[in-house]
Structure 1
């Protein structure tokens, strides 16, 4: 199975088009506090200039329902990623595809995932770091990701880079991988060379996995 690729933290049209030209499946726009945060109007301008059949993911952290719905409609988001302590009931309030993110520290971090099986379409696993939700640049124990696959499609995140994504895919065999800081020259600005190498390594992993 081909590994899907999501590039997160898009802040400009140049990075978006570069990622799409390399064959990524989805782009992530962060509407929560982050060095890669983007304002809805700017995101909308970028999204309106993108080709069809690209996943447009909005990333939120414990945001009010009405604000999420307003931004989703304004920007034309087709998928919502919740990276906070949103409940299963909260996730069920939206008609969009839902990615629920979990910060993984140890095996206890997996215990909440089953509660979201009815409401989330995929689970994004990121590295736990106190006080930080996403963008840690650190990996976690991938054996925990393997254990979580029984709950549904897994998107592996946390410290992925061109030099480790192939190993990650071959070990975990996730539905998808998510990268932000691992392909940046500075926060919010993607490095085309790193992007290209990341995609190449994903394809090599898929080929090696058969």
Structure 2
């Protein structure tokens, strides 16, 4: 079975980022969307990044932010990758010319495969659950059987936890998985025990 990579998203504390890294996460996610309970300010984000060991990618999540804000945050914090999680158009993402992944919600009656193709230089497509009014972090699982064939690496998100990650990997066979609420003790506060359980369950299927 192929190696499935992992991102622990919504990190707000240094200790949570270090726990994710020590348990083998390939990336951590920092949320720069002020309406999110997992929002992190620039200085705190920078301190988290500076504490991370080598070979852990830092992903910055944005929802309909201005291009100048994204660029400033990318440089100041020291991000490796942008995650566009709002209504950003392909032309917007491409024009900014920063390495990125595009999150798409599994909205009914939307041709996800066709939309994904428009993000020409995306490093991957993240598929998340669709809940009206919420850009992400819903904690809800969507119907994995509806996932279309993509010409980009597939990153699976939406309600993942240690109890369903084995089934998710077996059924979807994604390039990577992205978890946030499934490893929390409270919104924005990770649980070392849940991170450990999640990563061990993921590794068991690698």
TM class, shorter-chain normalised? over 0.9
How far apart, in 2, do the equivalents of 1:107 and 1:114 lie?
17
Q: Give the match's secondary structure for 2:101.
A: strand
How far apart, in 1, do the equivalents of 2:92 and 2:116 lie?
15
2:117 equivalent in structure 1: 114
Q: After TM superposition, which residue ranges in structure 1, 4 or more long, deviate above 6 angstroms?
A: none
Kept in 2, the 8 Å contact 1:104–1:128? The answer is yes
Q: Deviation at 1:161?
A: 0.7
List per-residue Cα deviations over 1:98-139 (Å, max 9, x = no partner).
1100011335251411211x1211000000000001110001
Using the size of structure 1 for normalisation, the TM-score is 0.93
Q: Give the match's secondary structure for 1:108.
A: coil
Over aligned residues, Cα RMSD in angstroms? 1.1
Q: Give the match's secondary structure for 1:92.
A: helix
Q: Deviation at 1:76?
A: 0.3
1:54 equivalent in structure 2: 56
1:71 equivalent in structure 2: 73
Name the count of aligned residue pairs: 203
1:162 equivalent in structure 2: 162
Gaps spanning 5+ residues in structure 1: where? none
2:12 equivalent in structure 1: 11
List per-residue Cα deviations over 1:173-203 (Å, max 9, x = no partner).
0000000000000001111111111111111
Q: Give the match's secondary structure for 2:74.
A: helix
Q: Deviation at 1:97?
A: 2.0
How far apart, in 2, do the equivalents of 1:162 and 1:173 lie?
16
Deviates more, 1:28-37 or 1:96-105: 96-105
Gaps spanning 5+ residues in structure 2: where? none
Kept in 2, the 8 Å contact 1:127–1:134? The answer is yes
1:183 aligns with 2:183: yes
List per-residue Cα deviations over 1:78-112 (Å, max 9, x = no partner).
10000011111111133432110001133525141
How far apart, in 1, do the equivalents of 2:66 and 2:164 lie?
36
How far apart, in 1, do the equivalents of 2:80 and 2:157 lie?
20
Alignment of 1:1-210 (within 5 A): 1-32=2-33, 33-106=35-108, 108-110=110-112, 111-116=114-119, 118-145=120-147, 147-148=148-149, 150-206=150-206
Using the size of structure 2 for normalisation, the TM-score is 0.95
Kept in 2, the 8 Å contact 1:30–1:60? The answer is yes
Structure with more of its chain in helix, by fraction: 1
